[in-house]
Protein backbone atom coordinates (compact mmCIF):
# COMPACT_ATOMS: atom_id res chain seq x y z
CA UNK A 1 0.00 0.00 0.00
CA UNK A 2 1.14 3.52 -0.77
CA UNK A 3 2.63 4.88 2.45
CA UNK A 4 1.34 8.36 1.61
CA UNK A 5 -2.24 7.04 1.79
CA UNK A 6 -4.22 8.80 4.46
CA UNK A 7 -5.41 6.60 7.31
CA UNK A 8 -8.14 8.03 9.51
CA UNK A 9 -9.03 6.27 12.74
CA UNK A 10 -12.78 5.51 12.93
CA UNK A 11 -12.74 6.83 16.50
CA UNK A 12 -11.92 10.30 15.24
CA UNK A 13 -15.44 10.49 13.76
CA UNK A 14 -17.66 8.58 16.16
CA UNK A 15 -20.57 6.38 15.15
CA UNK A 16 -23.00 8.96 13.76
CA UNK A 17 -20.45 11.06 11.89
CA UNK A 18 -19.05 7.85 10.41
CA UNK A 19 -22.47 6.72 9.14
CA UNK A 20 -23.01 10.16 7.66
CA UNK A 21 -19.54 10.23 6.10
CA UNK A 22 -20.07 6.86 4.43
CA UNK A 23 -23.62 7.42 3.23
CA UNK A 24 -24.07 11.12 2.38
CA UNK A 25 -23.35 10.56 -1.33
CA UNK A 26 -26.25 8.13 -1.69
CA UNK A 27 -29.39 9.60 -3.21
CA UNK A 28 -32.68 7.75 -3.02
CA UNK A 29 -34.03 7.12 -6.50
CA UNK A 30 -37.39 5.62 -5.59
CA UNK A 31 -40.32 7.82 -4.60
CA UNK A 32 -41.38 4.97 -2.31
CA UNK A 33 -38.37 5.66 -0.06
CA UNK A 34 -40.00 8.28 2.12
CA UNK A 35 -37.49 7.90 4.97
CA UNK A 36 -34.03 6.47 4.44
CA UNK A 37 -31.11 6.73 6.83
CA UNK A 38 -31.47 8.75 10.01
CA UNK A 39 -34.46 7.56 11.99
CA UNK A 40 -35.20 4.47 14.09
CA UNK A 41 -36.36 2.71 10.95
CA UNK A 42 -36.67 3.36 7.22
CA UNK A 43 -40.15 3.98 5.79
CA UNK A 44 -41.24 2.69 2.40
CA UNK A 45 -44.49 3.91 0.93
CA UNK A 46 -46.38 1.01 -0.61
CA UNK A 47 -49.76 2.70 -0.54
CA UNK A 48 -52.20 2.19 1.05
CA UNK A 49 -49.75 1.15 3.79
CA UNK A 50 -46.14 1.92 4.58
CA UNK A 51 -43.51 -0.71 5.31
CA UNK A 52 -41.06 0.10 8.10
CA UNK A 53 -37.65 -1.58 8.25
CA UNK A 54 -34.94 -1.62 10.90
CA UNK A 55 -31.85 -3.73 11.41
CA UNK A 56 -29.36 -4.29 14.24
CA UNK A 57 -26.16 -6.23 14.62
CA UNK A 58 -25.05 -7.80 17.91
CA UNK A 59 -21.45 -8.92 18.26
CA UNK A 60 -20.13 -11.22 21.00
CA UNK A 61 -17.66 -9.41 23.22
CA UNK A 62 -19.06 -6.01 22.20
CA UNK A 63 -22.83 -6.17 22.69
CA UNK A 64 -23.09 -9.32 24.76
CA UNK A 65 -20.96 -11.50 26.97
CA UNK A 66 -21.97 -15.15 27.19
CA UNK A 67 -20.20 -15.46 30.56
CA UNK A 68 -23.37 -14.01 32.11
CA UNK A 69 -25.94 -13.83 29.31
CA UNK A 70 -28.12 -16.94 28.96
CA UNK A 71 -28.50 -17.70 25.23
CA UNK A 72 -32.27 -17.76 25.56
CA UNK A 73 -32.23 -14.20 26.92
CA UNK A 74 -29.86 -13.15 24.16
CA UNK A 75 -32.24 -14.49 21.51
CA UNK A 76 -35.16 -12.67 23.11
CA UNK A 77 -33.24 -9.40 23.44
CA UNK A 78 -31.98 -9.47 19.86
CA UNK A 79 -35.61 -9.40 18.69
CA UNK A 80 -36.69 -6.81 21.28
CA UNK A 81 -34.06 -4.25 20.25
CA UNK A 82 -35.37 -4.40 16.69
CA UNK A 83 -39.10 -4.34 17.29
CA UNK A 84 -38.42 -1.43 19.66
CA UNK A 85 -37.21 0.61 16.66
CA UNK A 86 -40.41 -0.25 14.76
CA UNK A 87 -42.60 0.86 17.69
CA UNK A 88 -40.52 4.06 17.88
CA UNK A 89 -41.96 4.92 14.43
CA UNK A 90 -45.47 4.28 15.82
CA UNK A 91 -45.67 1.24 13.54
CA UNK A 92 -46.50 -2.41 14.21
CA UNK A 93 -43.80 -5.05 13.70
CA UNK A 94 -44.94 -8.01 11.60
CA UNK A 95 -41.89 -9.97 10.46
CA UNK A 96 -38.24 -10.56 11.32
CA UNK A 97 -35.26 -12.13 9.63
CA UNK A 98 -32.42 -13.52 11.76
CA UNK A 99 -28.88 -14.06 10.52
CA UNK A 100 -26.16 -15.67 12.59
CA UNK A 101 -22.44 -16.25 12.22
CA UNK A 102 -21.17 -18.90 14.64
CA UNK A 103 -17.91 -20.61 15.46
CA UNK A 104 -17.79 -24.36 16.10
CA UNK A 105 -17.69 -23.55 19.81
CA UNK A 106 -21.49 -23.53 19.72
CA UNK A 107 -23.40 -26.79 19.88
CA UNK A 108 -26.80 -27.45 18.36
CA UNK A 109 -28.20 -27.41 21.91
CA UNK A 110 -26.76 -23.94 22.53
CA UNK A 111 -28.31 -22.64 19.32
CA UNK A 112 -31.62 -24.25 20.27
CA UNK A 113 -31.53 -22.10 23.41
CA UNK A 114 -30.89 -18.97 21.35
CA UNK A 115 -33.83 -19.81 19.10
CA UNK A 116 -36.08 -20.62 22.07
CA UNK A 117 -35.58 -16.98 23.09
CA UNK A 118 -36.22 -15.75 19.55
CA UNK A 119 -39.37 -17.89 19.49
CA UNK A 120 -40.63 -16.47 22.78
CA UNK A 121 -40.11 -12.91 21.49
CA UNK A 122 -41.90 -13.72 18.22
CA UNK A 123 -44.87 -14.91 20.28
CA UNK A 124 -44.80 -11.91 22.61
CA UNK A 125 -44.55 -9.33 19.83
CA UNK A 126 -46.59 -11.27 17.30
CA UNK A 127 -43.98 -11.35 14.54
CA UNK A 128 -43.24 -14.07 12.01
CA UNK A 129 -39.68 -15.31 11.53
CA UNK A 130 -39.47 -15.26 7.73
CA UNK A 131 -35.82 -15.95 6.93
CA UNK A 132 -32.21 -15.08 7.54
CA UNK A 133 -28.79 -16.53 6.90
CA UNK A 134 -26.46 -18.90 8.71
CA UNK A 135 -22.73 -18.89 8.29
CA UNK A 136 -19.56 -19.77 10.14
CA UNK A 137 -17.33 -17.39 12.01
CA UNK A 138 -13.69 -17.87 12.99
CA UNK A 139 -14.50 -16.76 16.51
CA UNK A 140 -17.55 -16.00 18.60
CA UNK A 141 -21.09 -15.23 17.54
CA UNK A 142 -22.71 -12.42 15.59
CA UNK A 143 -26.47 -11.98 15.35
CA UNK A 144 -28.22 -9.67 12.94
CA UNK A 145 -31.96 -9.15 13.12
CA UNK A 146 -34.06 -7.16 10.68
CA UNK A 147 -37.57 -6.19 11.70
CA UNK A 148 -40.26 -5.27 9.19
CA UNK A 149 -43.39 -3.47 10.29
CA UNK A 150 -46.43 -1.72 8.96
CA UNK A 151 -48.26 1.56 9.48
CA UNK A 152 -50.61 3.95 7.81
CA UNK A 153 -48.66 6.90 6.47
CA UNK A 154 -50.56 9.37 8.64
CA UNK A 155 -49.76 7.33 11.76
CA UNK A 156 -45.97 7.41 11.43
CA UNK A 157 -43.94 9.40 13.93
CA UNK A 158 -40.42 10.60 13.10
CA UNK A 159 -37.61 12.10 15.12
CA UNK A 160 -38.07 15.46 13.40
CA UNK A 161 -41.58 16.50 14.42
CA UNK A 162 -41.04 18.12 17.84
CA UNK A 163 -42.22 21.75 18.21
CA UNK A 164 -41.41 24.37 20.85
CA UNK A 165 -43.96 24.04 23.63
CA UNK A 166 -44.32 20.26 23.20
CA UNK A 167 -43.97 18.16 26.34
CA UNK A 168 -41.18 15.60 26.67
CA UNK A 169 -42.46 12.15 27.73
CA UNK A 170 -40.64 9.02 28.92
CA UNK A 171 -42.35 5.63 29.22
CA UNK A 172 -40.49 4.08 32.15
CA UNK A 173 -37.53 4.18 34.49
CA UNK A 174 -34.05 4.69 33.08
CA UNK A 175 -30.50 3.75 34.05
CA UNK A 176 -31.33 0.31 35.43
CA UNK A 177 -30.12 -1.68 32.42
CA UNK A 178 -26.75 0.07 32.59
CA UNK A 179 -26.42 -0.62 36.31
CA UNK A 180 -27.46 -4.23 35.75
CA UNK A 181 -24.57 -4.51 33.32
CA UNK A 182 -22.16 -3.01 35.88
CA UNK A 183 -23.19 -5.70 38.39
CA UNK A 184 -22.81 -8.52 35.90
CA UNK A 185 -19.36 -7.23 34.91
CA UNK A 186 -18.36 -6.95 38.56
CA UNK A 187 -19.51 -10.50 39.32
CA UNK A 188 -17.62 -11.74 36.28
CA UNK A 189 -14.40 -10.20 37.63
CA UNK A 190 -15.03 -11.67 41.10
CA UNK A 191 -15.67 -15.08 39.53
CA UNK A 192 -12.41 -14.85 37.57
CA UNK A 193 -10.48 -14.17 40.77
CA UNK A 194 -12.38 -16.56 43.05
CA UNK A 195 -13.92 -19.35 41.02
CA UNK A 196 -16.64 -21.12 42.95
CA UNK A 197 -17.96 -18.08 44.79
CA UNK A 198 -21.67 -18.00 44.00
CA UNK A 199 -22.96 -14.44 43.70
CA UNK A 200 -26.18 -13.57 45.51
CA UNK A 201 -27.99 -11.31 43.09
CA UNK A 202 -31.46 -11.52 44.64
CA UNK A 203 -31.43 -7.88 45.71
CA UNK A 204 -30.50 -6.72 42.23
CA UNK A 205 -33.09 -8.82 40.45
CA UNK A 206 -34.90 -5.87 38.90
CA UNK A 207 -31.90 -4.11 37.41
CA UNK A 208 -30.27 -7.31 36.16
CA UNK A 209 -33.58 -8.22 34.53
CA UNK A 210 -33.61 -4.82 32.82
CA UNK A 211 -30.21 -5.64 31.28
CA UNK A 212 -30.81 -9.27 30.36
CA UNK A 213 -34.47 -9.29 29.43
CA UNK A 214 -35.67 -5.90 28.23
CA UNK A 215 -39.11 -5.46 26.67
CA UNK A 216 -40.17 -3.13 23.86
CA UNK A 217 -43.04 -0.77 24.73
CA UNK A 218 -45.72 -2.29 22.54
CA UNK A 219 -48.20 -1.61 25.34
CA UNK A 220 -47.53 2.13 25.30
CA UNK A 221 -47.92 2.40 21.53
CA UNK A 222 -51.26 0.59 21.82
CA UNK A 223 -52.36 2.75 24.75
CA UNK A 224 -51.52 5.99 22.91
CA UNK A 225 -53.55 4.81 19.97
CA UNK A 226 -56.45 3.93 22.27
CA UNK A 227 -56.59 7.40 23.79
CA UNK A 228 -56.09 9.07 20.42
CA UNK A 229 -52.67 10.63 21.00
CA UNK A 230 -50.13 10.76 18.19
CA UNK A 231 -46.72 11.92 19.46
CA UNK A 232 -45.12 14.74 17.49
CA UNK A 233 -41.73 12.97 17.57
CA UNK A 234 -40.44 9.70 18.98
CA UNK A 235 -37.27 7.61 19.40
CA UNK A 236 -36.45 4.55 21.48
CA UNK A 237 -33.93 4.92 24.27
CA UNK A 238 -31.15 2.53 23.28
CA UNK A 239 -28.15 4.81 23.83
CA UNK A 240 -29.19 6.86 26.87
CA UNK A 241 -31.74 9.63 27.32
CA UNK A 242 -29.35 12.52 26.60
CA UNK A 243 -28.17 11.16 23.27
CA UNK A 244 -31.76 10.38 22.17
CA UNK A 245 -33.03 13.83 23.17
CA UNK A 246 -30.20 15.34 21.12
CA UNK A 247 -31.32 13.31 18.09
CA UNK A 248 -34.86 14.66 18.44
CA UNK A 249 -33.70 18.25 18.96
CA UNK A 250 -31.18 18.17 16.11
CA UNK A 251 -33.64 16.67 13.66
CA UNK A 252 -36.55 18.85 14.79
CA UNK A 253 -34.34 21.95 14.98
CA UNK A 254 -35.37 22.75 18.54
CA UNK A 255 -33.88 23.15 21.98
CA UNK A 256 -35.18 21.43 25.11
CA UNK A 257 -35.32 21.76 28.86
CA UNK A 258 -35.20 18.38 30.57
CA UNK A 259 -36.12 18.26 34.26
CA UNK A 260 -34.17 15.89 36.47
CA UNK A 261 -37.24 15.62 38.69
CA UNK A 262 -39.25 14.17 35.83
CA UNK A 263 -36.75 11.46 34.87
CA UNK A 264 -37.93 8.22 36.47
CA UNK A 265 -35.27 6.09 38.17
CA UNK A 266 -36.13 2.82 39.94
CA UNK A 267 -35.26 2.74 43.68
CA UNK A 268 -33.05 -0.32 43.12
CA UNK A 269 -31.15 1.61 40.45
CA UNK A 270 -30.81 4.63 42.75
CA UNK A 271 -29.29 2.43 45.43
CA UNK A 272 -26.96 0.60 43.10
CA UNK A 273 -25.73 3.82 41.46
CA UNK A 274 -24.67 5.08 44.87
CA UNK A 275 -22.87 1.78 45.58
CA UNK A 276 -20.93 2.23 42.35
CA UNK A 277 -20.28 5.88 43.28
CA UNK A 278 -22.24 7.03 40.23
CA UNK A 279 -24.83 9.76 40.07
CA UNK A 280 -28.22 8.06 39.33
CA UNK A 281 -29.20 10.80 36.86
CA UNK A 282 -25.94 10.27 34.94
CA UNK A 283 -26.83 6.58 34.60
CA UNK A 284 -30.26 7.57 33.26
CA UNK A 285 -28.84 10.15 30.85
CA UNK A 286 -25.90 8.18 29.53
CA UNK A 287 -26.59 4.54 30.38
CA UNK A 288 -28.77 3.15 27.65
CA UNK A 289 -30.31 -0.21 26.77
CA UNK A 290 -33.51 0.49 28.70
CA UNK A 291 -35.58 0.40 25.48
CA UNK A 292 -38.15 2.80 26.83
CA UNK A 293 -39.61 5.35 24.43
CA UNK A 294 -38.85 9.06 24.42
CA UNK A 295 -41.57 11.08 22.70
CA UNK A 296 -43.02 14.56 22.54
CA UNK A 297 -46.68 15.56 22.53
CA UNK A 298 -48.58 18.74 21.83
CA UNK A 299 -49.52 20.34 25.17
CA UNK A 300 -53.20 20.04 24.22
CA UNK A 301 -52.82 16.23 24.40
CA UNK A 302 -51.48 16.22 27.99
CA UNK A 303 -54.96 15.75 29.45
CA UNK A 304 -55.45 12.51 27.48
CA UNK A 305 -52.25 11.02 28.93
CA UNK A 306 -53.29 11.65 32.51
CA UNK A 307 -54.87 8.26 33.01
CA UNK A 308 -52.16 6.22 31.33
CA UNK A 309 -49.87 4.61 33.85
CA UNK A 310 -46.12 4.91 33.38
CA UNK A 311 -45.87 7.99 31.23
CA UNK A 312 -43.61 10.56 32.80
CA UNK A 313 -43.52 14.15 31.66
CA UNK A 314 -39.92 15.28 31.95
CA UNK A 315 -39.64 18.69 30.38
CA UNK A 316 -40.43 20.84 27.41
CA UNK A 317 -39.23 21.42 23.87
CA UNK A 318 -37.89 24.96 23.38
CA UNK A 319 -36.84 27.25 20.55
CA UNK A 320 -33.45 26.17 19.13
CA UNK A 321 -31.50 29.12 20.57
CA UNK A 322 -32.06 27.77 24.10
CA UNK A 323 -29.93 24.69 23.39
CA UNK A 324 -30.54 21.39 25.17
CA UNK A 325 -30.47 21.86 28.93
CA UNK A 326 -31.00 19.95 32.15
CA UNK A 327 -32.66 21.50 35.18
CA UNK A 328 -31.38 19.70 38.27
CA UNK A 329 -33.46 18.95 41.37
CA UNK A 330 -31.69 21.87 43.03
CA UNK A 331 -32.94 24.20 40.29
CA UNK A 332 -29.61 24.72 38.50
CA UNK A 333 -29.57 24.64 34.73
CA UNK A 334 -26.74 22.84 32.91
CA UNK A 335 -25.89 22.26 29.29
CA UNK A 336 -26.81 18.62 28.60
CA UNK A 337 -24.01 16.40 27.36
CA UNK A 338 -24.66 13.45 25.07
CA UNK A 339 -22.48 10.50 25.82
CA UNK A 340 -23.93 7.51 24.06
CA UNK A 341 -22.25 4.16 23.82
CA UNK A 342 -18.91 4.12 22.07
CA UNK A 343 -18.39 0.68 20.65
CA UNK A 344 -15.24 1.30 18.62
P1 LIG B 1 -30.81 2.93 16.26
O2 LIG B 1 -29.98 3.35 17.45
O3 LIG B 1 -32.21 3.44 16.32
O4 LIG B 1 -30.73 1.45 15.98
P5 LIG B 1 -28.61 3.71 14.64
O6 LIG B 1 -28.03 4.78 15.50
O7 LIG B 1 -28.03 2.35 14.68
O8 LIG B 1 -30.17 3.65 14.98
O9 LIG B 1 -28.60 4.19 13.15
C10 LIG B 1 -28.93 5.50 12.77
C11 LIG B 1 -29.33 5.49 11.29
O12 LIG B 1 -28.20 5.16 10.47
C13 LIG B 1 -30.40 4.47 10.92
O14 LIG B 1 -31.23 5.04 9.94
C15 LIG B 1 -29.60 3.31 10.34
O16 LIG B 1 -30.37 2.54 9.45
C17 LIG B 1 -28.47 4.02 9.64
N18 LIG B 1 -27.23 3.23 9.53
C19 LIG B 1 -26.49 2.73 10.54
N20 LIG B 1 -25.38 2.10 10.08
C21 LIG B 1 -25.42 2.19 8.74
C22 LIG B 1 -24.57 1.75 7.68
N23 LIG B 1 -23.44 1.08 7.93
N24 LIG B 1 -24.91 2.04 6.39
C25 LIG B 1 -26.06 2.71 6.13
N26 LIG B 1 -26.90 3.17 7.08
C27 LIG B 1 -26.60 2.92 8.36
MG1 LIG C 1 -33.74 3.47 17.81
90 alpha carbon – ligand 2 mean position (Å): 12
Domain boundary among 109, 129, 155: 155
CA atoms within 13 A on the CB side of 136: 5
What span, in angstroms and rounded, lies between the C-alpha atoms of 246 and 260? 16
Judgement on whether residues 48 and 149 belong to the same structural domain of the protein: yes
Phi, psi angles (nearest 5°) of residue 188: -65, -40
Residues of the chain with pLDDT under 70: 1-4, 338-344
Asked, for residue 340, whether it belongs to a domain, the answer is no
Judgement on whether residues 164 and 137 belong to the same structural domain of the protein: no
Judgement on whether residues 73 and 174 belong to the same structural domain of the protein: no
Find out whether the beta carbon of 19 lies less than 6 Å from any atom of ligand 1: yes
CB 316 within 8 A of CB 295: no
298 alpha carbon – ligand 2 mean position (Å): 22
244 alpha carbon – ligand 1 mean position (Å): 13
pLDDT in tens, 192-207: 888 877 777 777 899 9
Confidence at residue 74, expressed as pLDDT on a 0 to 100 scale:
98
20 alpha carbon – ligand 1 mean position (Å): 9
Range of the domain at 114: 10-155
| Range list of β-strands (E), 103-140 | 128-136
Find out whether the beta carbon of 243 lies less than 6 Å from any atom of ligand 1: no
318 alpha carbon – ligand 1 mean position (Å): 27
Confidence at residue 4, expressed as pLDDT on a 0 to 100 scale:
64
What residues contact residue 186 under an 8 Å CB cut-off, 6+ apart? none
Domain boundary among 131, 155, 179: 155
Asked, for residue 198, whether it belongs to a domain, the answer is yes
Judgement on whether residues 179 and 86 belong to the same structural domain of the protein: no
Find the CATH number of the domain harbouring 171: 3.90.650.10
Diameter of the chain by CA atoms? 66
Confidence at residue 199, expressed as pLDDT on a 0 to 100 scale:
73
Judgement on whether residues 173 and 122 belong to the same structural domain of the protein: no
Domain boundary among 121, 155, 189: 155
Find out whether the beta carbon of 33 lies less than 6 Å from any atom of ligand 1: no
Confidence at residue 203, expressed as pLDDT on a 0 to 100 scale:
78
Find out whether the beta carbon of 85 lies less than 6 Å from any atom of ligand 1: yes
Q: Is 90 helix (H, G, I), strand (E, B) or coil?
A: coil
Ligand 1 mutation target, pool 13, 18, 19, 42, most atoms within 8 A of CB: 19
Find the CATH number of the domain harbouring 37: 3.30.1330.10
Burial status of residue 26 (CB atoms within 10 A of its CB: 0-12, 13-18, 19 or more): exposed
Asked, for residue 5, whether it belongs to a domain, the answer is no
Asked, for residue 3, whether it belongs to a domain, the answer is no
Asked, for residue 1, whether it belongs to a domain, the answer is no
Judgement on whether residues 148 and 118 belong to the same structural domain of the protein: yes
Which residues line ion ligand 2, judged by CB < 5 Å? 40, 85, 236
270 alpha carbon – ligand 1 mean position (Å): 32
Judgement on whether residues 228 and 117 belong to the same structural domain of the protein: no
Judgement on whether residues 149 and 14 belong to the same structural domain of the protein: yes
Number of domains in the chain: 2
Judgement on whether residues 253 and 166 belong to the same structural domain of the protein: yes
Q: Is 270 helix (H, G, I), strand (E, B) or coil?
A: helix
Burial status of residue 324 (CB atoms within 10 A of its CB: 0-12, 13-18, 19 or more): buried
Confidence at residue 3, expressed as pLDDT on a 0 to 100 scale:
54
Judgement on whether residues 198 and 118 belong to the same structural domain of the protein: no
Asked, for residue 342, whether it belongs to a domain, the answer is no
What span, in angstroms and rounded, lies between the C-alpha atoms of 22 and 19? 5
Ligand 1 mutation target, pool 14, 37, 292, most atoms within 8 A of CB: 37
Amino acid sequence: MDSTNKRTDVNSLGEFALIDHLTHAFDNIHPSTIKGIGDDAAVLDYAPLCTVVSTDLLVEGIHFDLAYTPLKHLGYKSVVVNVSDIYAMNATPKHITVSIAISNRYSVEALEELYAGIHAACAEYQVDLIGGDTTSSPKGMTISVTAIGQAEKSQLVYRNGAKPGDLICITGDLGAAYLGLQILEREKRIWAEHPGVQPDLQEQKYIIGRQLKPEARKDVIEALRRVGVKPTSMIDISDGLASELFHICRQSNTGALLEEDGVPIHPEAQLMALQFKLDPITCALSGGEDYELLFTIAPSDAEKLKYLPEIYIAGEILEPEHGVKLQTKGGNIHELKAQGWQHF
